[in-house]
């Protein structure tokens, strides 16, 4: 990891410290995906969050919100000091993103399986209105067990939504075990192709590969794009990488926080 990826992860740990809890593994696997999207692809204006021509971004795996809060703070949507109050009673930063509470949030998510449906609606609306912005949605791999995801995928294909990019954070672990044991997703790329998407796979922690990929989006005219990002749950935290028991932690102590920071030195 380069220094920027470490600094974004430190912002996640800052939120964990403030709330003494959070989805650690689920947030850490997202960092490079969100970093490249916000650094190199999405159009937005932190001083005018509702700018009509902005691209729309939905974090459908809302439990990974600390990664989204970190990048939004980094980009100036709000003061990073707010991370210190994560999940406290008077904070705007809850355990899932909430539309209307924090600038930069396009949808309330966390009830899994809904983000792609909302993204399809936004992309259809943009087509009807003749608007040129793109809609990007990031889903978890466990989340796409939900049938509503595949109903939305069929609709995206029907409407030829080449302004829609669906990304899967494929860390291969969900809350209580391996995705292949809970409900096997393979052949995942072929599934998306069968639903009418143009598909590409990428190392979700390789910043250079992700930056090269986003220059090519959308991959094909009149077809939605699916990007399968191969990631590691808990990436960057040596003792949490690839471990389902670090999906979420509560009642984190000072020594836990210190151990998390030490991994990012």
CATH code of 224's domain? 3.40.50.970
Please work out, in degrees rounded to the nearest 5, the angle formed at the alpha carbon of residue 199 by the alpha carbons of 34 and 167: 25
Q: Please, what's the b/e burial string for 92-120 (b: 16 or more CB within 10 A of its CB; e: otherwise)? A: ebbbbbbeeebbbbbbbbbebbbbbbbbb
Tell me which residue range forms the domain holding 176.
3-262
Mention every residue, 6+ apart, whose C-beta is less than 8 A from residue 105: 68, 72, 97, 98, 99
pLDDT digits (tens, 9 = 90+) for 1-35: 999 999 999 999 999 999 999 999 999 999 999 99
Please give the pLDDT value at position 129. Answer: 97
Calculate mean pLDDT across residues 197-222: 98
Query: Is there a contact between 204 and 230 (Cβ–Cβ < 8 Å)?
Result: yes
Q: How confident is the model at residue 254 (pLDDT cuts 50, 70, 90)?
A: very high
> How far, in Å, CA of 87 to CA of 93, rounded?
6
What torsion, rounded to 10 degrees, do the Cα atoms 59, 122, 112, 48 define?
Answer: 30
> How far, in Å, CA of 240 to CA of 234, rounded?
5
The pLDDT > 70 percentage for the chain reads 100
Burial of 50 (0-12, 13-18, 19+ CB in 10 A): exposed
Query: Is there a contact between 118 and 56 (Cβ–Cβ < 8 Å)?
Result: no
Q: How confident is the model at residue 155 (pLDDT cuts 50, 70, 90)?
A: very high
Beta-bridged to residue 136, according to DSSP, are 57, 165
Please give the pLDDT value at position 209. Answer: 98
Please give the pLDDT value at position 54. Answer: 98
Q: Please, what's the b/e burial string for 19-38 (b: 16 or more CB within 10 A of its CB; e: otherwise)? A: bbbbbbbbbbbbbbbbbbbb
pLDDT digits (tens, 9 = 90+) for 53-82: 999 999 999 999 999 999 999 999 999 999
Number of domains making up the chain: 1
Please give the pLDDT value at position 19. Answer: 95
Q: Is pTM, for the whole model, over 0.85?
A: yes
């Amino acid at each position: 990891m380069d220094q920027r990826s470490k600094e974004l992860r430190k912002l996640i740990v800052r939120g964990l410290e403030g709330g003494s809890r959070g989805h650690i593994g689920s947030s850490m696997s997202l960092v490079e995906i969100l970093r490249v999207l916000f650094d190199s692809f999405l159009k937005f204006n932190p001083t005018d969050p509702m700018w009509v021509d902005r691209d729309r971004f939905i974090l459908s795996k809302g439990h990974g919100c600390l990664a989204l809060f970190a990048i939004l703070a980094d980009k100036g949507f709000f003061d990073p000091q707010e991370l210190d109050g994560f999940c406290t009673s008077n904070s705007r930063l809850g355990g899932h993103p909430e539309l209307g509470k924090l600038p930069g949030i396009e949808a309330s998510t966390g009830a899994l399986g809904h983000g792609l449906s909302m993204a399809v609606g936004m992309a259809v609306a943009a087509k009807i209105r003749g608007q040129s912005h793109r809609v990007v949605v990031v889903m978890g791999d466990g989340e796409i067990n939900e049938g509503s995801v595949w109903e939305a995928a069929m609709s995206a294909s029907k409407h030829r939504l080449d302004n829609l990019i669906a990304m899967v954070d494929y860390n291969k672990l969900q809350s209580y075990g391996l995705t292949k044991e809970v409900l096997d997703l393979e052949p995942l790329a072929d599934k998306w192709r069968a639903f009418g998407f143009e598909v590409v796979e990428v190392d979700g922690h390789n910043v250079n590969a992700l930056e090269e990929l986003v220059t090519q989006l959308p991959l094909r005219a009149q077809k939605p794009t699916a990007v399968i990002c191969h990631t590691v749950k808990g990436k960057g935290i040596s003792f949490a990488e690839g471990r389902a028991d670090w999906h979420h932690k509560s009642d984190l102590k000072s020594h836990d926080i210190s151990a998390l920071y030490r991994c990012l030195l």
